[in-house]
Amino acid sequence: MLKNFKHKTLVLLFFVSIITGCSLQEEPLPEASSDSATSMSNAIVSITFDDGNADNYLIRQALADNNLHATFYVVSGFTGSAGYMSLDELQGLYEDGNEIGGHTLSHVSLGDVRGTDLQNEVCQDRANLMDFGFEVVSFAYPYGYYDEESMAAVRDCGYTNARIVTGGPQEFQWENPYELKAMPYVVGDTDVAKLKRYIQEAAHEDAWAILTFHHICDYCDKFSFRYDQFVELSEWLGEQQHYGLKVMTVGEVIGGEVQPAVLP
């Protein structure tokens, strides 16, 4: 009788598996966390850092641990000087899959330079970074300033895109890749909850949230974000990738071939 019971049970389980379309051995999918948006797969997030500050290197492991890549916009003329990342540190980030972009030769506002000086700030910066061994396609305007002449210089120097500092989230059907809109600057009182809201807003609008960081430290600068907060954000972003969120560098989103360096 026990043998008949076991046989009937196996038959019942077999028919249940056919009806549900699932194998008896199939692992259940993980449940989304309570703050996951059901439309999270409609969003892209780019983590960007301006200036190449030395404290940015602190988050290398947090990025790697959560399968994240960021875009670091570097002032090549400051590389290796006090307060800025060394060439070895930049190369380590690059080897991890992070993107190195340009941010001018000396962090000058492009509204303050014209003609050959403008070309030198933009083109020489990119040429320096390429000489360091990086494939450089992305640029960020210092202080967010840009105009028609500066956009033309960025394009003519071989960049495929440039980021500003306002207006985000960025629509996927961008009109001008040299005017990519970012979410508001991350500053000392920005918390993880606010950044999550930015990303959820982008998901709701089927858009791209470009986050802009400067310093990783405990209130050392107006434009700072605490290390523990960045780790928390990284872990959350890593989790959301399981539910469709795409975290990509700016260069990955825009695409395009890497152009040769253009000397000023």
In a domain, 195, yes or no: yes
Report the domain count for the chain: 1
246: tokens are: 């795409």
How confident is the model at residue 32, as a pLDDT? 41
Whole-angstrom distance, CA of residue 255 vs CA of residue 261: 17
What one-letter code names the amino acid at 34? S
In a domain, 128, yes or no: yes
In a domain, 81, yes or no: yes
Q: pLDDT grade, residue 40 (50/70/90)?
A: confident
**Which ranges of the chain would DSSP assign to H, the alpha helix?**
2-20, 60-65, 87-95, 115-119, 125-131, 148-156, 192-204, 227-240, 250-254
In a domain, 24, yes or no: no
In a domain, 259, yes or no: no
Q: What is the mean pLDDT of the segment spanning 176-183? A: 98
Query: Which comes out higher in pLDDT, residue 38 or 29?
Result: 38
How confident is the model at residue 29, as a pLDDT? 33
Question: What range does the domain containing 218 cover?
Answer: 39-252
Which CATH number do you get for residue 96?
A: 3.20.20.370
Whole-angstrom distance, CA of residue 59 vs CA of residue 71: 12
DSSP 258: P
State what percent of residues in the chain have pLDDT above 90: 83
Which backbone phi and psi does 209 adopt, to 5 degrees? Answer: -100, 110
Query: Which comes out higher in pLDDT, residue 32 or 214?
Result: 214
Whole-angstrom distance, CA of residue 223 vs CA of residue 203: 25
How confident is the model at residue 180, as a pLDDT? 98
- Is pLDDT above 50 for 133? yes
- From the centroid of its chain, how far is CA 168? 14
